[in-house]
Structure 1
Amino acid sequence: MDEREGNGEDVVYDRALLLHGAKRNEVLTLEEIRRYGSDSFGDAEYVRIYGMPPAQWYGRGIRLLGRTAVECTRDALADLIGSDIASLAAKMPSTSSFTVIDPFAGSCNTLYWVLRHLVKAEGIAFELDPLVYALSNRNIAFLDQKIELVQGDYQTLLENRNIPADRGVVVFVAPPWGTALDERVGLDLRRTTPPIGEVVSRIGRTFSGQPLLFATQVYEKVNPASLADVRALVDWSELRIYRLNDEGRNHGILLATRGGLRRPRATSHVSICASQESCATLKSGRTGASHGGRQKSAWSQWGASVRTCAFPAGSRSGWLRHLGAYAIPSPTEAGGNAMSGLSHWQLDGSAPDLYERYLVPAITVKWAADLVERAGVRAEEKVLDVACGTGIVARLASRRTGHGRVTGLDLNKGMLAVARTVSGGDGTIEFIEGSALDLPFAAGAFDVVLCQLGLQFFPDQKKALREMRRVLLPGGRLAVSVYSPIEKTPGAHAFVQALDRVFGSEASRIKRGEHSFCAARDLEELLRDAAFEDVEVDTVVQRIAFPSVLDYVRFQLLATPMAVLLGGRPESERQALIDEVASQVEGMSDPTMLQRGEFSFPQEAYIGTASAPG
């Protein structure tokens, strides 16, 4: 007998045992729920559902079958899915109320979270399996959301449903994956039970007269052909992957619209989040910043040339000059109203070291690994990392190239010095000083160009992208990432609000400049305008964590150009300000961001891949 069939301590509580083995149709004990989390994910609290950890929901009388424990969407993921669905649903025309349909209810946890985010909504769920239905119907009775769970096949039951034409229809599509998921090769959307395309087509026919918003749960790796089949059935779609688990074991959603509902297009190729609540589209080049060559100032010590953004005339700091990697008000442009000494401030010698030591492992290494993976860097290839900073992307790429050549380019001498030190100086990576707007390389010099979280700062993004295309070989590959609106990264959003409260209404402009892209479409259009081909842009979420709120605030104010806010102040005052900002951030943070003494939150970015014309 296989050890999975036994009851001893050597039994491994994993997907195979609970989904296909002896525990498939058994109601799990609390200890078994916790063992599944520990054995499979190293976290006994892994199966968090309905906003509660296992002990809490189990204590309320909620129970799960083995297969439901595997297939249910846990809270961290369901919360993100619900938030993204609600954000897109809010754009549905002439709609103030919603009906959310879940054809394959299972535990109903995702539906529960969608309803938490989507106001004036009711939920209808269908479950064919009598065992799952009985337990889930009992479980949702303990919840505070209006969910109608119906036993039977959604196909026939939905046809008899009359949903008023003035209600928006949202459909969460997550049929059982079963053998459709092979964790090594990914999820085949044609082999789910039933196939995803069949579900989208049938519901599309049933509600052919109404705009529909589909949210299909997917795995980090998706069979490309099956994904293309589903996308062909809808008017618009966007794939989002949430980095909550180990690399290769993450989930996401394919957001899609059909029947006249399309996501609004940006009105400009370049946009910036100009306030906490909205994005204002802006044109580049309004402040007269140089678009070519090097830009000499204290801020060029921070890196590649940055995008110029225009703010309304008459604001306290006037126009912003973007020199280096972050934006600062120029005293001459601000009419003397800017903070004294801003244009003369530069990082002390330890700041790049602090950045590499603390912010790289906490934040940028995760995005770097994702970017290199998406670019598909291979042995012997020549790779360029634009705006390389302390070189984490270049180092990860170098591990793949073997005897290939990796070059990192940046304007920041201090960051480049750290990059050379950390890389070991073994000659596998060359770090050089240069501008993204005038790359010092011959045409066709590289197989791959990477640019992580730097494009948003370039004063002429189109020119920078054209330069990247120029130095690529025909058919060469580009991978570029930028942060999404700051509201999608709750830790950073709380931080900028705290900065404005403590230092004044414009203190957060530097940080907000990191989040200047308002939509994935903005990046997609920039790439197409630069004559790239095979353009794809995904919205990706990583979970980042710091030891505490105080550590996060301290690193932001000491290891980035935001240290300008503390410049020239006595040490006692500096520490008091750091403590006050940390206190404000903690007060504005959701309790889920403050668990186990850490400061942890989702961080969202747009990641684009493309190829040079072949």
Structure 2
Amino acid sequence: MPNSDAAFEGSIPVIYERYLSPLLFEPYAVDIAQRIAPLAPRRLLETAAGTGVVTRELERVLGEDTVITATDLNQAMIDVATTTRGSGHATWTQCDAMALPFDGDSFDLVACQFGVMFFPERTRAYQEVARVLASDGAFIFTVWDRLAVNEVTRIIADALTARYPEDPPSFFERVPFGYFDVDLIRSQLIESGFSEVAAETVILPSRADAALDAAIGVCQGTPVRAEIESREADGLQAATDDAARALVARFGTDRLESTMQAITLTARL
């Protein structure tokens, strides 16, 4: 995996938080927090926490009785998270999910929303989760299902392919929408020390105030931005406009309303 695939830096974190969070991440943040709340963990670790979309929801539903430690590889994402989360009580740490700086048996629950797809060595990351989990703990995480069933991003990917037919950007299918084989994920978890793995497909609404908002979020607030700029140095806005026009052709000029599909997994030791 190229280093740029996990690079959320420059203006990306701010755009990610403003445009992508409501489009893609906030609905699943509510969903995963609702799954975690009944478990009432006392010590919770979140990996690949990004700009804190899930973190904020966990703070809301769990309250201050739960000690929440949120982590991310990219300090720029943490910087945005800590300036937008208000009076949240989570503690933030910059670290690599494949080398967690915590002792064994440190957490009752580990959560990760749409992060494991970015880990270069997923089995190593899962082994780290197993190491820091209490013996009766749980690992709850979400991955995107295939690109074909995630309409908004698929339309944008198709628009970028049309703009760069000789060398289409491949980030979407390689990384965020490229890790949906439940049998593979289950086998990697078991190899890493987990014994029980449950998976559930979750379909939720995907909404934006306008097509351009969605296009900006996906084209400029993710690492596909680097793929666009490597193909056309001054083409980012034009590519974004192409994506917006494709979305308007499908959804019209009013508020964008679609659906998205992911897989939520719960693993226990």
Q: What TM-score do the two structures reach when normalised by structure 2? A: 0.88
Contact 1:347 1:563 in 2 (8 A): no
- Assess, with a 3 A threshold, how the Cα gap between structure 1 residues 376 and 561 changes in structure 2: closer, same or farther: same
- Assess, with a 3 A threshold, how the Cα gap between structure 1 residues 586 and 445 changes in structure 2: closer, same or farther: same
Contact 1:453 1:483 in 2 (8 A): yes
- Assess, with a 3 A threshold, how the Cα gap between structure 1 residues 401 and 610 changes in structure 2: closer, same or farther: farther
Name the SS of the counterpart of 1:449 in structure 2: strand
1:533 aligns with 2:195: yes
Question: Deviation of residue 401 (structure 1)?
Answer: 4.0
Q: Distance in 2 between matches of 1:547 and 1:566?
A: 26
Q: Distance in 1 between matches of 2:193 and 2:121?
A: 15
Contact 2:140 2:264 in 1 (8 A): yes
Question: Deviation of residue 378 (structure 1)?
Answer: 5.0
Question: Deviation of residue 380 (structure 1)?
Answer: 6.2
Candidates 15, 18, 26, aligned match of 1:354: 15
1:391 aligns with 2:52: yes
Contact 1:419 1:431 in 2 (8 A): no
Q: Provide runs of 4+ in structure 1 moved above 3 Å.
A: 376-380, 504-507, 566-570, 573-577, 584-587
1:603 aligns with 2:260: yes
1:446 aligns with 2:107: yes
Q: Distance in 2 between matches of 1:362 and 1:577?
A: 19
Question: Deviation of residue 379 (structure 1)?
Answer: 4.8
Structure 1 residue identity aligned to 2:264? I
- Assess, with a 3 A threshold, how the Cα gap between structure 1 residues 595 and 499 changes in structure 2: closer, same or farther: closer
Candidates 544, 551, 559, aligned match of 2:221: 559
Question: Deviation of residue 601 (structure 1)?
Answer: 2.0
1:325 aligns with 2:6: yes
Deviations 1:383-435 (A, max 9, x none): 10000101121222222042321011111111001111123366x21111111
Partner of 1:417: 79
Partner of 1:430: 91
Q: Distance in 2 between matches of 1:414 and 1:480?
A: 22
Partner of 1:468: 129
Question: Deviation of residue 353 (structure 1)?
Answer: 1.9
Partner of 2:161: 500
Name the SS of the counterpart of 1:541 in structure 2: strand
Question: Deviation of residue 371 (structure 1)?
Answer: 1.4
Contact 1:444 1:470 in 2 (8 A): yes
Q: Distance in 1 between matches of 2:95 and 2:119?
A: 13
1:510 aligns with 2:171: yes
Structure 1 residue identity aligned to 2:12? A
Report which of the two has the higher share of helix: 2
Structure 2 residue identity aligned to 1:602? T
Give the CA RMSD over aligned residues: 2.3
Matched length: 265
Identity of aligned residues (%): 26
Structure 2 residue identity aligned to 1:609? T
- Assess, with a 3 A threshold, how the Cα gap between structure 1 residues 359 and 423 changes in structure 2: closer, same or farther: same
- Assess, with a 3 A threshold, how the Cα gap between structure 1 residues 457 and 549 changes in structure 2: closer, same or farther: same
Name the SS of the counterpart of 1:551 in structure 2: helix
**Residues 471-490 of structure 1: pairs in structure 2 closer than 5 A:** 471-490=132-151
Contact 2:201 2:262 in 1 (8 A): yes
- Assess, with a 3 A threshold, how the Cα gap between structure 1 residues 364 and 425 changes in structure 2: closer, same or farther: same
Q: What TM-score do the two structures reach when normalised by structure 1? A: 0.41
Name the SS of the counterpart of 1:579 in structure 2: helix
Larger relative contact order (Cα-Cα within 8 Å, sequence gap ≥ 6): 2
Contact 2:13 2:80 in 1 (8 A): yes
- Assess, with a 3 A threshold, how the Cα gap between structure 1 residues 508 and 585 changes in structure 2: closer, same or farther: farther
Question: Deviation of residue 507 (structure 1)?
Answer: 3.5
5+ residue gaps, structure 2, are: none
**Residues 174-253 of structure 1: pairs in structure 2 closer than 5 A:** none
Who wins on radius of gyration, i.e. which is larger? 1
Q: Distance in 2 between matches of 1:380 and 1:576?
A: 47
Name the SS of the counterpart of 1:443 in structure 2: coil
Q: Distance in 2 between matches of 1:414 and 1:507?
A: 28
Deviations 1:157-212 (A, max 9, x none): xxxxxxxxxxxxxxxxxxxxxxxxxxxxxxxxxxxxxxxxxxxxxxxxxxxxxxxx
Deviations 1:344-376 (A, max 9, x none): xx743x431221122112221111121122234
Question: Deviation of residue 458 (structure 1)?
Answer: 0.9
Deviations 1:467-506 (A, max 9, x none): 1111011110110111111011122212111111113444
Deviations 1:80-109 (A, max 9, x none): xxxxxxxxxxxxxxxxxxxxxxxxxxxxxx
